[in-house]
Structure 1
Amino acid sequence: MTEKVVVIVGAGPGVSGSLARIYAQEGCAVGLIGIDPVPLTDLGDELTAMGVDVGHVVADVTDAAAAASAVSQLGERFGRVDVLHFNPSAFREKDPLQLSAEELLADVALGAGALLTVVQAARPFLRDGARVTVTGSMAADKPWNKAASLGVQKAAVRNLVQSLDATLRPDGIRAVSVTVRGTLAADGPFTPDRVAQALRAAAAQDEDSWRSEIPYAG
């Protein structure tokens, strides 16, 4: 097998779907993990029609055992993982006086904690040159108080990416988050396709000038 293998966690419509298409256009095999079987199957069928090898697994990534099993299934199927992309986050419209501690922890478990689970499960399949990419957000720096948990998630996941990068670097594996400094829209610089292109470019950084966090301002 010569094609690269990309595994996208939190796959579906939007940025993750656009990113999957970019890699498929490059001839990469694509593994998809998501919680909703309908968009997951639809995206898988679309990529298969493009002529690439596709596998998909339905899993709730806040269930550590299920998430690890999904990643392992795809790793064993393809034999390796060259790019692991992490996309999930939870949007809960509650301000800090409405948000409970339990809800905050549940959201962080999805938007940041699950990254630990999937990277640890993917580690046996990551080799020298592999990359971990994460969809970040300006909410990490400028949180919207009416969705307070989102900013906490994005700040936490960006911090975690920096620790992952430092830990994996000696083995030639790098991690990067792309901080999207804008709101996703159907037109303009923040379309899912444009953000996906920024994520793809981040994964292709030169090793000698690698940055573990890259802002995307359109």
Structure 2
Amino acid sequence: MSRPVIVVVGAGPGVSGSVARRFADAGHDVGLLGQDQEVLDQLVPDLEARGAAVGHAVVDVTDDRAARDAVRRMGDHTGRIDVLHFNPSAYREKEPLTLTVPELLEDVALGVGALLTVVQAARPHMSAGARISVTGSMAADQPWEGAASLGVQKAGVRNLVHSLDKALCGDGIRAVSVTVCGTLAREGAFTPDRVAEALWAAVTTDESEWRSEVRYTG
């Protein structure tokens, strides 16, 4: 029987990299979609050393066709996608009185719209028991006006996760947003590794106790 597979969208050196390592340590093979080849080149050997087979692609996930093709190639190669983890968001330091509509829509396309793209592309490779996870943020509830689009993205992606969970639960596929109620740091309760552990716990929650939002308070 083939090993389970996680595809990490928005792979980078922070939470997403920690998620990839956590799942690799648990016996998953890993697919990485990211924008920086150098970062992916650093992640791949680390994951391979943990026993994972690793596929990776540099892709702009707001490019609908390119993102769909990349996810489909990974699914076709592995024959399955058991976990789809979505991490991207745009951080733009602009308050609502200077943020333009095109800028807001550009950021939402990354932080919310791209989730639709990758889920729709992954769906044919997902079966009962598969899971979708999203890195959420307290910005959804407590936005900082200095980066107004981030709160809109995090509120929007959480709402979309609720809808995805309802739409897919009849097929045994569940979706969860983990709201990180703190600021990422190198030490303490909000290190990327600790957040990744919270995401692991959420994804592996028993069906009978499933919730489409989990709050990680440290």
TM-score range, shorter chain: over 0.9
Match of 1:190 in 2: 190
Q: TM-score, normalised by structure 1?
A: 0.99
Match of 1:160 in 2: 160
Whole-angstrom distance in 1 between the partners of 2:51 and 2:79:
19
Match of 2:20 in 1: 20
Match of 2:132 in 1: 132
Match of 2:61 in 1: 61
Match of 2:95 in 1: 95
Q: Give CA deviations for 1:153-175 in whole Å, capped at 9, x if unaligned.
A: 00000000000000000000000
Task: Return 203-212 or 113-122, whichever deviates more.
Answer: 203-212
Amino acid at match of 1:55: G
CA RMSD, 1 decimal: 0.7
Amino acid at match of 1:111: G
Amino acid at match of 1:176: V
Are positions 1:110 and 2:115 aligned together?
A: no
Match of 2:79 in 1: 79
Q: CA deviation at 1:119?
A: 0.1
Whole-angstrom distance in 1 between the partners of 2:60 and 2:18:
21
Q: CA deviation at 1:52?
A: 1.4
Are positions 1:208 and 2:208 aligned together?
A: yes
User: What's the secondary structure of 1:190's corresponding residue?
Assistant: coil
User: What's the secondary structure of 1:165's corresponding residue?
Assistant: helix
Whole-angstrom distance in 1 between the partners of 2:194 and 2:147:
25
User: What's the secondary structure of 1:127's corresponding residue?
Assistant: coil
User: What's the secondary structure of 1:215's corresponding residue?
Assistant: strand
Q: TM-score, normalised by structure 2?
A: 0.99
User: What's the secondary structure of 1:202's corresponding residue?
Assistant: helix
Whole-angstrom distance in 2 between the partners of 1:109 and 1:134:
15
Whole-angstrom distance in 2 between the partners of 1:86 and 1:76:
19
Whole-angstrom distance in 2 between the partners of 1:51 and 1:4:
12
Whole-angstrom distance in 2 between the partners of 1:210 and 1:52:
28
